[in-house]
Amino acid sequence: MKAHGDVLKLTKFSPAREDEKTMKVKKRRRVKLSPRARAILTLAITLAVTLCVGYLGLNGTWLDNQGLYRLLPWLPTSDMERWPQPIALGLDMKGGVYVEYTAAVSEEMLAEGQTMDLLLENTVLIMRDRLAEIGYPEAAVCRLDTEGIRVELPDTPDLASVLGLIGTTAKLEFLDSEGNVFMDGSHLTTASAAWDENRQPAVVLQMNGEGASLFADMTSRSIGKELTITLDGEVLMSRTVDSPITGGGLLLSGSFTAGQAANLALQLKSGALPVQLHQDKQDTISAPLGAKALSTCVTAVMIGILLVFVLMAIRYKIGGFIADWALCIYIILMFILIAIVPGIQLTLPGIAGIILSIIMAVDANCIIFERVKEEFLTGRPILYAVRVGFKNAMSAVLDANIAIIIVSIALLFLGTGGVRGFAVMLLLGVLTSLFTVVVFHRFLMNRMVRVFKNPALYVPGFSKKAIVKIADREAK
């Protein structure tokens, strides 16, 4: 029953109309893009993203209207006034400062039979290790006359901190309750920055077998007494022993900042300097290669890459265009890593490493194209030939790149100065090029063959008619 005034409306039911609506909805749901349309859309989006990221790499951008955050450019340019700030330059490209030290040897060292030549050589090696650990592997450290050492560093905003790190003797000593030294830094195997139980910066010391035994024995005999640890005569920590400390590990805590703990750990890990250094002179040094060396190098590299682009496009047609596209992605990724990975500086040996990695990337592309050509000439369709060609080429590509990676790692650990800079860039470049070939080149090629299916656009050295004849003959 309905209340008075309610109106009951009746609508005539039409099954045909309902079926028609249902079919239209289902038809709309079933509409899908063809494989060719999906490939075109994917390539268009990828091209737009590549161009956008490349523009940002060259020009950077402000991320808000107030200018509080800024994305700095990271791609190099031949205009030195617009050189990207995130890419640090080495001593040979930008110049820097040099510092000269005079070494003083204690009478104890001379009494032990140590010679000045040997002590200076050890000091040079320790200073090189310290500089390499903080991101200056190509800094020049050499002997000066018979009692001096010269250090050449690229321009750095915190020069005083760097000089304090490399010039400090860092002589660590462990003293018993009577002030006698029973251990020193030679009994350490490593040191690392850490945090104590109160979340304060600290340094973890790890002793060798002899040091662990000496420390355990001394702490066992010093219950209720104080043991002191000093660095260059200054007290780092003085604590009362509550129980024996075994295992060879020790947490060194005190009023450290995080930076001080990191520097102290680095100094202890590299070892104490065997001599006392006194700074005599400090001055600036110009770029050894000249003021225009960087601009000339960048221009030469750009011209070489442009010629590679043209040759690849002429030789491999659309496949060459895909290879050029993948190479652009490689360059963007490579310089992103150079900009964000700490401690990397662009030097002339580093540029040589980048060029060699580009050669490896182009070589991998050529191997892939030739394998695709071989598969197609056996009668396989172009889509299948691309898939199988990539698969067959991977073994040769991986073998070549793994060999270069092994050589780069060996140079990185065994080399010094410019050799290490070359090894870093070569290793970074080869890993980036391998990732680009395996991921982006395959991705772009698999979609491009769905857009342009004419085999003559991919197989070099043959016309379409010749390709069809060879394919038919191989199929028979």
* Residue 420 · residue 412 · CB < 8 Å: yes
Mean pLDDT (whole number) for 222-235: 87
pLDDT digits (tens, 9 = 90+) for 69-107: 677 888 888 777 788 888 888 887 888 888 999 888 877
Q: One-letter amino acid identity for 298?
A: V
CATH 1.20.1640.10, the chain: domain bounds: 293-475
- The model's confidence at residue 2, banded by pLDDT at 50, 70 and 90, is very low
Domain 89-285 has CATH 1.10.275.10: no
pLDDT digits (tens, 9 = 90+) for 375-393: 877 777 778 888 888 888 8
Contacts of 125 (CB under 8 A, 6+ apart): none
pLDDT at 383: 82
- The model's confidence at residue 36, banded by pLDDT at 50, 70 and 90, is confident
Domain 293-475 has CATH 1.20.1640.10: yes
pLDDT at 10 over 60: no
HSE-up (13 A, CA, CB side) for residue 297: 22
The whole model's pTM is what? 0.73
CATH 3.30.1360.200, the chain: domain bounds: 89-285
Q: Taking all residues of the chain, what is their mean pLDDT, rounded to a whole number?
A: 81
Q: Please count the other Cβ atoms lying within 10 Å of the Cβ belonging to residue 215.
A: 24
pLDDT at 470: 53
pLDDT at 147 over 80: yes
**What is 195-219 written as a DSSP string?**
E-TTS-EEEEEEE-HHHHHHHHHHH
pLDDT at 195 over 50: yes
Over the range 86-115, which residues count as b (16 or more CB within 10 Å of their CB) and which as e? ebbbbbbbbbbbbbbbbbebeeebeeeebe
pLDDT at 45 over 90: yes
Q: Say which residue the tokens 């060798």 belong to.
A: 208
- The model's confidence at residue 5, banded by pLDDT at 50, 70 and 90, is very low
pLDDT at 164: 83
85: three-class secondary structure by DSSP: coil
In angstroms, the CA 358 to CA 367 distance is 14
For residue 252, list its beta bridge partners: 203
pLDDT at 213 over 80: yes
pLDDT at 115: 81
- The model's confidence at residue 11, banded by pLDDT at 50, 70 and 90, is very low
pLDDT at 406: 93
Mean pLDDT (whole number) for 197-225: 87
pLDDT digits (tens, 9 = 90+) for 247-297: 888 888 777 788 888 888 888 888 878 888 888 888 888 776 666 778 888
Helix (H) or strand (E) holding 253: strand 249-253
- The model's confidence at residue 329, banded by pLDDT at 50, 70 and 90, is very high
- The model's confidence at residue 64, banded by pLDDT at 50, 70 and 90, is low
In angstroms, the CA 18 to CA 108 distance is 104
pLDDT at 4 over 50: no
pLDDT at 68: 56
pLDDT at 474 over 50: no
In angstroms, the CA 138 to CA 136 distance is 6
4: three-class secondary structure by DSSP: coil
Comparing 433 with 19, the larger pLDDT belongs to 433
34: three-class secondary structure by DSSP: coil
Percent of the chain with pLDDT over 90: 10
What is the maximum alpha-carbon separation in the chain?
122
In angstroms, the CA 265 to CA 261 distance is 6
pLDDT at 149: 92
Mean pLDDT (whole number) for 316-334: 90
pLDDT at 19: 56
